[in-house]
Amino acid sequence: MMNHTTPDAGPAPLTLVDIGINLTHDSYDADRDAVIARARSVGVVQMIVTGASIDGTQKAIEFARSRPGELFATAGVHPHHATELTPEALALLEELVRQPEVVAAGECGLDYFRDFSPRPVQREAFHRQLELAARVGKPVFLHQRDAHEDFLAILKEHRPSLRGGVTHCFTGGERELMAYLDLGFAIGMTGWICDERRGAHLLPLVREIPADRLLLETDGPYLLPRDLHPKPASRRNEPAYLPHIAAVVARARGESVEALARSSTAAARALFLSGA
């Protein structure tokens, strides 16, 4: 039997939105409904299911349709899959982005860390998806790793026509943070901030993010908070651990977790769910 833990959210559950959960991942196939129930029990009342490929986007939309008002979807092609964004796939993606369950275009961007797709192909796919986001008038769900300069240049080119968006799973430094804030984007914080080896630099930086642009996400099943105790036997991250991430972020900002929950939830709903 799996050992699942849930964080202590205090005397009353917080109200939180997980803006990035890979709920289509096969690690959730055996207990997806239970994962959602555990999240709800600790106050994670809404979740945005990430679409990172055509197939993943279609599944994310199906899940969102099965739980209206609770699950939503993004529709995009991750840079790892950039070679799959043919003209035909782009036309299909536009149909998917226009679905009412879809609240953002993406996950899209650049990833020069893995380089699973050639960099010129990544850049072309990023351009096309930003154009798509502008056409449909939905915010963008952005991915960037080890590609800041090219990423920023492309964003600046398209920013005047974009409704806004979030730099999902932010792990960069002050220079990157200020560049994205200057462009008016929200910042998504994950359990990376809970990792004393890789994420300690984020602790002072979160103070620089305006409350109305600080969003919270698990990016499950990835990025299980390193300081979570006890850890699940599966080592799988899930939305039930979002209150733990919220507590770490709130402590770093010098505010109560309740205040952070209120502001991040309001910000998430304003950006993604106001028309849902």
> 7 in a domain, yes or no?
no
In a domain, 10, yes or no: no
Direct distance between the N- and C-terminal alpha carbons of the chain, in angstroms, rounded to an integer = 37
**Per the domain annotation, does 100 fall within a domain?**
yes
pLDDT of residue 2: 39
pLDDT at site 274: 82
Low-confidence ranges of the chain (pLDDT < 50): 1-3, 7-10
List, for residues 214-256, the tens digit of each pLDDT value. Answer: 999 999 999 999 999 999 999 999 999 999 999 999 999 999 9
Alpha carbons 123 and 115: distance in angstroms, whole number: 12
Contact criterion met (CB below 8 Å) for 104 and 93: no
CA separation for the pair 43, 244 (Å, rounded): 12
What's the alpha-carbon Rg for the chain, to the nearest Å?
17
Q: What does the CA dihedral 10, 11, 12, 16 come to, rounded to 10 degrees?
A: 0
List C-alpha distances in Å: 66 to 43, 70, 82. 20, 9, 28
**Is residue 41 in some structural domain?**
yes
CATH number (domain holding residue 71) = 3.20.20.140
d(Cα 243, Cα 266) in Å, to the nearest integer?
A: 16
The structural domain count of the chain equals: 1
Cα three-residue angle 227-230-234, rounded to 5 degrees: 100
What is the residue range of 240's domain?
16-273
pLDDT at 275: 57
Please indicate, yes or no, if residue 3 is contained in any of the structural domains: no
DSSP 158-225: HGGG---EEE-S----HHHHHHHHHTT-EEEE-GGGG-TTTSTTHHHHGGGS-GGGEEE---TTS---
Query: Domain for residue 84, yes or no?
Result: yes
pLDDT tens string 57-79? 999 999 999 999 999 999 999 99
